[in-house]
Amino acid sequence: MISTRIGESIPPNTKHAVSVCLPTWEATVGYEEGKPEIINALTTGYPRFFIHKAIQRLCQVLTDKYAKENEACLCFPSYEVAKRCREYIVVKSSIDGNVPKVRILQLATSKPVTAEETKWKRECKVAVVFVDKQFWPLMKQYWQHSGEILSSRLAEYVLYELFIVEKSSKTRQNNLSSEEARDEEEYIEQRFGRNLDFSYADTAKSLIKRRIATKVVDGEAELHEERQSTTEQFVEHVVDAEEVAPGVALTIPAEPSHRTGETGGTLHVSPEEDVYLFPSGMASIFTAHRLLLQLDAQRVNRSRLGHTPTQSVISSPSQRAIVGYGPPYKKTVMFGFPYTDTLSILEKFNHTYFLGQGDSTSMDKLKEILHSGEQILAVFMEAPSNPLLKMGDLLELKELANSYGFYIVVDETAGGFVNIDVLPHADIVCSSLTKIFSGDSNVIAGSVVLNPRSKLYPFAQTFMQQSYEDCLWCEDALCLERNSRDFVARTLKVNHNTERLLEKVLLPQEGKLFKKIYYPSTTSPETKRNYDAVRCQDGGYGGLFSLTFFSEKAAKVFFNSLQLCKGPSLGTNFTLACPYAIIAHYQELDRVAQYGVESNLVRVSVGLEPEEQLCKVFQTAVEASKNI
């Protein structure tokens, strides 16, 4: 079913949806301009940008109970995350000489006391950051950029636990609003009715990590084997792939649990030791950045102990222990034009070179920096980039890294595990599991994979052992495990659909209606060559492409004529489109245009609809645009 009403969830009636319907170009502009008729219509949104209604209600309860005058609050999944948020607020506000008082309150739900209770009850600790309302934008920035967010499912659980406590008071019971009562009634029905029970969450996480490490779709025999080692009741059935991917068998030949290393041989990846799960894809990138800054802090500390002069933007003694936020830490490099918050992490939590073209010209600039004698910490890149689907030369980057001693972090979300294998050429690989790995647009998560052959690996493992927190809520893990059972089959179907749509309908219009079609096989010969260098044997070019137009009017007509879901996110089981520059860069359209991200750009994420249906929908939009 297609969402068509402004502000409704995508898919419709999905409580924990990660996309929201903005069905027209004008609605998207209205959203970016904060028009009340658009903002007030939103029932949900992408979780790092839109605070889910369950989280809003939880924060309101906590504000009423614990906030001081003129304070606002926001909940985070752990005390350590809350401390990092506090650090960000203090550092950023200190630039203006106005240091706020930031309070952290930690709350814990009760532990299960019986075996039966473990099916629906789990101890969890959340941390609440309180700060004067004038600093709310900084707290919200940390939420968005870091991705270390509270799950809406976890917020519901904590809210329900609070209700139990509060109901011991007659006053609270009498003041329970009808909306809260309905929410509680629905929650109880879910808790004891439809939901998979919590006791299988750890097994679900193990299966997820195994799929990431080996690209294996767990067949019934594999699941049976896993059940025998844990429980006889874990998964009652495997989702029939025919429901989502007609004509594609569920059982895809599994790749071996290793990759070919850059120097030959095999690269063994341990699901339990090398794969880590996070509450969002951005949190995985943020953690990779923290890991690298922590490594660089050892150099900075050695320099200070040796009385080598350094310059720091942090002046007070208590703040000198803060890692990052500018000199004396080495710069990072953002290679290629990335998703907006990746660049925000590198710029706001440290300092970076932005080589936004992401092609051979950027490679030449990188070599100039390296040849100047400056040491850089790491290169971050997307494979391929979003939204221009450019692919940098990862093999050459690896050669430079070996020569000059920097590290490589790759976000392979747009490419996907099934299509490309970048791990042999990277130190850390990050991914948003919210996208094609899940597909259902109803859960947010991310992952980090460490390269066991990397010179960074010993430090990375130590860092993870000491600093990693599993903040992926158990219900989200259960949902993600269920969604990802057929991710290989879905990926192959999406590859096929996209290739056929481009071949039959869109590529014939390049140079006529479309100024440029961006896709790994069409963006440029350079991109195709670099992509093919890391493409898996049976992999394709993914389901994401972007279109630019000769006129904005034609772009608007084309977009408004598309009879499909329209909103943020990508990698969904249904085709999803958005005017990307408008929704991601509305306040900086002139700047991003320098890198090829034109204001009329429309990004499309292809889904699992029948090929003929997709072609018809896009052909209709093409005809409408040609007739203006």
Residues 546-556 pLDDT 10s: 999 999 999 99
Q: Is the pLDDT of residue 316 over 60?
A: no
7: pLDDT confidence band, cut at 50, 70 and 90?
A: very high
Write the DSSP string, 512-570: TTEEEEE-TTTS-HHHHHHHHTTB-TT----SEEEEEES-HHHHHHHHHH--SEESS--
In this structure, what token pair is assigned to residue 148?
């270390």
Q: Is the pLDDT of residue 229 over 60?
A: no
Contact 206, 272 (CB under 8 A): yes
Give the pLDDT score at 277: 98
Q: Is the pLDDT of residue 348 over 50?
A: yes
Give the pLDDT score at 99: 80
For residues 162 and 155, give the distance between their C-alpha atoms in angstroms, rounded to a whole number: 10
Residue, of 287 and 310, whose pLDDT is higher: 287
Percent of the chain whose pLDDT exceeds 90: 75
Across 266-270, average pLDDT: 85
Report the DSSP beta bridge partners of residue 409: 380, 428
Give the pLDDT score at 302: 81
The vertex-359 CA angle with 355 and 360, nearest 5°, equals 105
In this structure, what token pair is assigned to residue 221?
């025999």
627: pLDDT confidence band, cut at 50, 70 and 90?
A: confident
Sole residue written with tokens 């221009």: 388
In this structure, what token pair is assigned to residue 212?
């990431």
163: pLDDT confidence band, cut at 50, 70 and 90?
A: low
Give the pLDDT score at 174: 47
Residues 114-130 pLDDT 10s: 988 888 889 999 999 99
Give the pLDDT score at 626: 87
Q: What is the mean pLDDT of the chain?
A: 86
Amino acid, res. 356: G
Residues 454-481 pLDDT 10s: 999 999 999 999 999 999 999 999 999 9
Lowest mean pLDDT among 301-310, 420-429, 470-479: 301-310
Give the pLDDT score at 94: 77
Give the pLDDT score at 301: 84
Across 477-495, average pLDDT: 96
71: pLDDT confidence band, cut at 50, 70 and 90?
A: very high
Across 25-53, average pLDDT: 94
In this structure, what token pair is assigned to residue 571?
């990698």
Give the pLDDT score at 322: 58
Residues 450-460 pLDDT 10s: 999 999 999 99
Across 440-447, average pLDDT: 97
Across 496-507, average pLDDT: 98
Write the DSSP string, 290-315: HHHHHHHHHHHHHHHHTT-----S--
E strands, 293-440, in order: 331-335, 352-355, 376-382, 407-411, 428-432
Q: Is the pLDDT of residue 576 over 90?
A: yes
Residue 100, exposed/middle/buried by CB under 10 A (0-12, 13-18, 19+)?
middle
